[in-house]
Structure 1
Amino acid sequence: MKSYKDLEVYVLAFQYAIEVHELTLKLPKYELYEQGSQLRRSSKSIKDNIVEGYGRRGYKQDFIKFLVYAHASLLECLSQLEMIEQLYELDVNDLISKYDALGAKIYSFKNYVEQHWKV
């Protein structure tokens, strides 16, 4: 792989962050800067941590640490989506399913890096 853009986990995280951004624009105006902002930040943090970890790929433990951060941000994003689902009548089931699958991919990729990554 020549770039972080070659990582499936990055490509999906980027795509889902766009979807989350668009979803948050459907929230009531008073939530754009509260719940909406928090959801946007957590979704974008997933891709950003993958990128930062990849940038430190020469240091295996740093790479792993940032993949753990990406997974933690994903869990925060899921929590925010679940809250929005309860508070507003927005269908977020598709996004929740996508993030669940992405979480499994990030976890598997982290395990791959732990076991097979050559520095």
Structure 2
Amino acid sequence: MSQDFIKTYQELRVYQLAFRSAMQIYRLSQQLPPEEEEMLSRQMVTASRSVCANLAEAWGKRRYHKAFVAKLNEAETEAAEVQTWIAFAVKCRYLDAEVGQSLLGQYRAIFAGLGRLIEDAGAWVRPME
């Protein structure tokens, strides 16, 4: 999709993947042991949702190049946090290794998408006219 045809952040492929991944993490978090609810489950769900929220905020800041890129960088930071929590969940054997690898692959794709948005930020920024 070219930026000329995208009207909302929900149309961005990276947002769609991040949203699907966050929903998958939410469903998986329901299967974690109760003692991990505060630390692992909540952190993983919150960070995965933050990727989406920061993408939405970045979209709203497209008038300002630095603000747009800063929000995308925050989305990258949250995505890295999600990867860390996934690694803990796999290492603690709360998540099957295959499921963990699939999720990590999704977040690598999210990183790549965010990186492309950052690299091409100038094409996405829409200054006030």
Matches within 5 A, 1:49-60: 49-60=54-65
Gaps of 5+ in 1: none
User: 1:19-63 CA deviation, whole Å, 9 max, x = no partner?
Assistant: 010111110011122210000011001000000010111112111
Q: Tell whether the 8 Å contact from 2:32 to 2:94 is kept in structure 1 after alignment.
A: no
Letter of the structure 2 residue corresponding to residue 116 of structure 1: A
Give the whole-Å Cα distance in 2 for the aligned partners of 1:7 and 1:89: 31
Moved >4 Å (runs of 4+): none
Q: Give the equivalent residue in structure 2 for 1:112.
A: 120
- SS of residue matched to 2:120: helix
Q: Give the equivalent residue in structure 1 for 2:41.
A: 36
- SS of residue matched to 1:88: coil
How well do the aligned residues superpose, as a CA RMSD in angstroms?
1.1
Gaps of 5+ in 2: 1-5
Is residue 99 from structure 1 mapped to residue 103 from structure 2 by the alignment? no
1:9 to partner: Cα distance = 1.2
Letter of the structure 1 residue corresponding to residue 47 of structure 2: S
Give the whole-Å Cα distance in 2 for the aligned partners of 1:103 and 1:35: 21
Q: Give the equivalent residue in structure 2 for 1:7.
A: 12
- SS of residue matched to 1:14: helix
Give the whole-Å Cα distance in 1 for the aligned partners of 2:63 and 2:11: 17
Alignment length (residue pairs): 118
Give the whole-Å Cα distance in 2 for the aligned partners of 1:28 and 1:21: 14
1:89 to partner: Cα distance = 4.1
